[in-house]
Amino acid sequence: MFNFESALKTGLASAVEEANNLEEIETVLETLKANIESFTSNCVSSKLIEQTNQEIDFSTALSSLQGPREVKYKSLMALNKTGKNQYYKELCEWDYGSRGYPVTLDYSNKSIACADKESLINALQDLLMRPESGKKIKFLMEKAQE
Amino acid sequence: MESSIAGDGNLHESLSFAWWNTSLSPRGIDRVDNKENQAIAGEAIALMLLEKKIDFLGLGEVSPSDIEYFNSLLLHSSYKIRECFEKVGKGKFSQAYIYNANNVRILEQKVLEYSILGRNYRVGDSLIISTKCGSLINVIVSHWPSKLHSENDKVRNHLASTLRNKVHNLSEANVVIMGDFNAEPFEESLSEYLLASRDKPKVRKKKELFYNPFWSKLGMSECQGYCGSYFFKSGMSSNWLLFDQIIVSSNFLNDKGWSLINEKSLIGTEDILKLVKNTKLHFDHLPVFTQLEKVNV
């Protein structure tokens, strides 16, 4: 005699854990967005967007002569809220783990997998402190004035 | 990288990899009496490069001054050095790579980190190298946290999972993972989280697995001089542990393109074994080697 109750229970618990983690990650992203907007006097904002890369990525390059293929990935973008034209600047690549965590950020020749909220906040702080990020925010603040 | 026409009339090219935890400068910080050890290590490295015709040598526990010294030794050779001293949390990477610039080029370098509860750990340094014939290989060089703290056992499992996740399209990728994992081939982190198997036919079939040729090195060496890569004088049942390994993706078992030469997966050199056995010196790891071969029909 067998039954699937235990598997169902595990599946449900995993779904709840994932939903809770995604909600927690969303609050971090919302705080980041609010801080960027208030710091730039509502000129610049941030959001996650899905991108498609047509260039050869590591895996396709490694697989010899198959040529480029479409690679979908998420990016944390900064964008100007005002100004004549809208510009987007990628702050980092963003990848959710199987349960929301670990969230992996890729930036400045570094890839960091964050297993929890504290680690994610630390990584985002490190990202924003880098001169590359400062340059992008500055650029968008200037464009917002045009 | 060696090229030769074999008995089958085909052109065989080979590419040699090695890893050595030098123990010169743990955490990238010079020891007080570093100069003597630096000179001994420099000589051992030069010998190793020449005798084993190494194309890519990963070095662990080195400092910027060690690299400056090695650079001075290799100044007029085809060997170049790339270093990795990236800060990670309160620590930093302390590794470097000596490569034969005539045979390989380093195209990209990215450090991989794992962070939990605000603590950051080094997963590895991921390099994309290109060979003379234009193949691309992802070489990941790791030095995972030691066994001195039991909480690191779980951390190493997370590092292994993170490393796996960073390899895109594993079934098609040419990946070489080398380093001091502070774990033996049978330990959870390597066998269950990284999924580095001992079973060649299984890895050929299940391309998501890695192959770890160093499983076969668990046991006494033929020369009876060692039974592992790390000498630990306070070991309870053995003074040797096999922490240093070179692991490859299943693509290298296909007999198409680059293939692993199993019998070239080796531990140690006689010279470095003498250094490890000399308790007056700091050396406590033997280097490990492996070789890939490509047959151009």
Mean pLDDT by 10 residues, chain B (297 residues): 68 90 91 87 96 97 96 95 94 96 96 96 97 93 88 91 87 92 97 97 94 94 88 90 97 88 92 92 96 82
- Residue (of B116, B12, B207) closest to A118 by Cα position: B116
Going from the C-alpha of B121 to that of each of A145, B136, B288, the distances in angstroms are 42, 27, 24
At residue B79, the pLDDT reads 97
At residue B220, the pLDDT reads 85
Mean pLDDT over residues A75-104, rounded? 96
Torsion sign across C-alpha atoms B62, B68, B73, B78: positive
**CA–CA separation, A40 vs B52, rounded Å?**
58
Predicted confidence band at A59 (pLDDT cuts at 50, 70, 90)?
very low
Are A102 and B257 in contact (CB < 8 Å)?
no
**CA–CA separation, A19 vs B145, rounded Å?**
32
Give percent of chain A with pLDDT exceeding 90. 82
Residues B289/B265, Cβ–Cβ less than 8 Å: yes
Q: Looking at the partner chain, which of A59, A112, A115 has a beta carbon nearest the beta carbon of B173? A: A59
Predicted confidence band at A115 (pLDDT cuts at 50, 70, 90)?
very high
Residue appearing with tokens 């949390």: B89
At residue B35, the pLDDT reads 87
SS3 (DSSP) at A75: strand
Residue appearing with tokens 């939990």: B116
At residue B113, the pLDDT reads 97
| Chain B nearest-CA residue for A119 | B118
At residue A53, the pLDDT reads 77
CB atoms within 10 A of CB B199: 13
At residue B22, the pLDDT reads 97
Cβ neighbours of A62 in B, within 8 Å: 136-138, 169, 172-175
At residue B10, the pLDDT reads 67
Our CA-based measurement puts residue A12 at a distance from the nearest CA of chain B, in whole angstroms, of 23
Q: What is the pTM of this model?
A: 0.91
At residue B235, the pLDDT reads 86
Residues A32/A124, Cβ–Cβ less than 8 Å: yes
Cα angle B145-B48-B287, degrees, rounded to a multiple of 5? 25
At residue B276, the pLDDT reads 95
Residue B53: both structure tokens together: 């015709």
pLDDT, averaged across chain A: 90
